[in-house]
Chains A and B, each alone.
Chain A
Amino acid sequence: MADRRFGFDTLCLHAGQIPDAATGARALPIYQTTSFVFDSADHAASLFNLQTFGNVYSRISNPTVAALEERVAALEGGRAAIAAATGMAAQMIALLTLARNGDHIVAARTLYGGTYSQLAITFAQFGIDVTFVDADDPAAFRAALKPTTKALYAETIGNPQLNVCDIAALADVAHGAGVPLVVDSTLASPYLCRPLEHGADIVVHSVTKYLGGHGTTMGGIVVESGKFPWDNGNFPQMTEPSRGYHGVRFYETFGDFGFTMKARMETMRTLGPTLAPLSAFLLLQGIETLHLRMPRHCESALAVARHLAAHPAVEWVNYPLLPGNRYEPLARRYLPRGAGGILTFGVRGGKGGGAKAGERFIEAVQFLSHLANVGDAKTLVIHPASTTHRQLTEDEQRAAGVTPAMIRLSVGLETLDDILWDLDQALEKSQR
């Protein structure tokens, strides 16, 4: 008899957590411990040799963190996952498991500013070369490939340009070159899009955002599909005896979760940006309502986008599912349940131009929170040019889709009429 295929909502509540063997606790226990005792010297040796599965030290694995890992793996339709301290740490773990000194990555130019800096500045210090290309042009990704390319990297929904990625087209380019497509799907969450179903091989998230949803806790995660052929000749680190883990051949030994095992036993174990058990617990509380929150974020964001598009003090509105948006066809294909809660708009330039009017708008909002985050239950507002993308030059900002007058809104779960009221009164003040 075939196993039942449980629905997404059921997985949000149950995947990765059956009641605790020792106590029967229904809620997820918080295993606030650094270390785990061995049954015997032989058991210890088996654990270190990876001949048996178990917990040794919480930098490598922890039962509370494992519940989060399995839950997100299930929600993404993946084979396995490894959590990290932040979304930035997760993408670093994913990419450093694939690429080393002398290797190359092709990435979308429209990435989140922090990611751009990680790849362009920090990875360059490691000797990993990253070429940034037009996110909308799969041919540009193909043209940038080198013999040393080890991954393609893009975001399901770019931040803050809100460009929607043609995942299947990029997967074709990646697979034509024998390398995986890695997709950051933070702004979509697995409720809106599961990139692995469209051909991506690895998905990364900042769990801090919609998955957690409450804005209390940092976290990141890497999910592998289990379908990439690591023995295609391009990834000797997956097929040859590991220098970092006494001769284990990760792909041969662990098969379709070999990438996650290598990420855990080599990259995470030696670099150490582990997720704390308490953080995993808090993030899981959020995931239990992901399927209830995401429809509301999408519904309210679309209503806000329509309202702003008709507002006299607004120059332009960017939301993928607005009619006429250049990404509407891709959004209808990849985000059929909604395009998420993030939108951007330009305040019409009053005194001092659009940038000044934008600052006056930010100063005037009453309960919309001015801060540098997205995907919170509360509505958030920010001026990217002076904050999240401040480290970039104006040209780099424009390349990343940030214009001087742009306001980014992360639409929350408050009463819709109240959100519209606060926007209206602040827009009115911005024009004075």
Chain B
Amino acid sequence: MAIDDIAGLRRILTQSRVVAVVGLSAHWHRPSYFAAKYLQEHGYRVIPVNPNYTEVLGEKCYPSVTAIPERVDIVDCFRKPEEMPALAREAVAKGAKVLWMQLGIRSSEAARIAAEAGQDVVENRCMKIEHARIMGGLHWAGVNTGVISARRSA
């Protein structure tokens, strides 16, 4: 199911713990590294997926999603849109609950493959930015989070 609202994103972010970050770079100034480091610092277990490395951010790096020997909740993709359908099939084979396509990445075919297998699908959003927008943090950068609530922040 396509998820794009605050309540749906909040559910994904609170119910998930293990994130396979596909296309994670080992260079500290790359956006994928920024995002993965942020996720680690906010309690997520990050599993790097990139055939070019053996280890990133202190975690063993795997060549593909299906090569990961443990449970994966979210497959977070920093790859080109044309690679997304194949990645969606990998995410389905792995039994992940969420296929997350990063900012600038959309693929209706990948979304269809994942949704038909019962996965939640997020397109064209950064997991770090959405976490910071909804769970706090991004507000401090002056960003319009869209959150209107009279409940205490988390």
Contact = CB atoms under 8 A, between A and B. Distances in A.
B139 interface: yes
B15 interface: no
Interface in B66-94: none
A203 B119 CA distance: 40
Contact of B144 (A46, A51, A79): A79
A51 B142 contact: no
Nearest to B153: A21
A15 B144 contact: yes
Interface string B1-13: 0001111100000
B152 A69 contact: no
A62 B129 CA distance: 19
Chain B residues touching A, range:
35 or more
B137 A20 contact: no
Contact of B126 (A2, A83, A255): A255
B137 A18 contact: no
A244 to B, nearest CB: 14
Contacts of B142: 61, 66, 69-70, 73, 80-83, 257, 260, 264
Interface in A1-59: 1-4, 6, 10-11, 14-16, 18-21, 24, 26, 42-43, 46, 49-55
A249 B150 CA distance: 36
Contacts of A246: 29
Contacts of A74: 144, 146
A260 B151 contact: no
B151 A78 contact: no
A54 B153 CA distance: 15
Interface in B98-116: 103-104
A52 B141 contact: no
A249 B152 contact: no
Nearest to A226: B144
Contact of B143 (A43, A51, A260): A260
Contacts of B103: 255
B147 A80 contact: no
A69 B31 CA distance: 25
A15 to B, nearest CB: 7
A249 B29 contact: yes
Contact of A52 (B4, B38, B152, B153): B38
State the main secondary structure of chain A at its contact with B: loop
State the main secondary structure of chain B at its contact with A: loop
A417 interface: no
A4 B146 CA distance: 9
A253 B31 contact: yes
Contacts of B4: 2
Nearest to A25: B152
B152 A19 contact: yes
A19 B153 contact: yes
B152 A241 contact: no
Contacts of A253: 29, 31, 34
Contacts of A49: 28, 34
Given A1-B5, A46-B37, A252-B31, A18 B141 contact: no
A2 B141 CA distance: 25
Contact of B137 (A6, A26, A53): A53
Nearest to B133: A53
A186 to B, nearest CB: 19
B140 to A, nearest CB: 5
Contacts of B117: none
Given A3-B5, A43-B41, A264 B137 contact: no
Interface in A179-236: none
6 contacts: A16-B145, A52-B42, A70-B139, A241-B29, A249-B29, A260-B141
Q: Top 3 A-B pairs ranked by shortest CB distance?
A: A69-B142, A53-B137, A73-B144
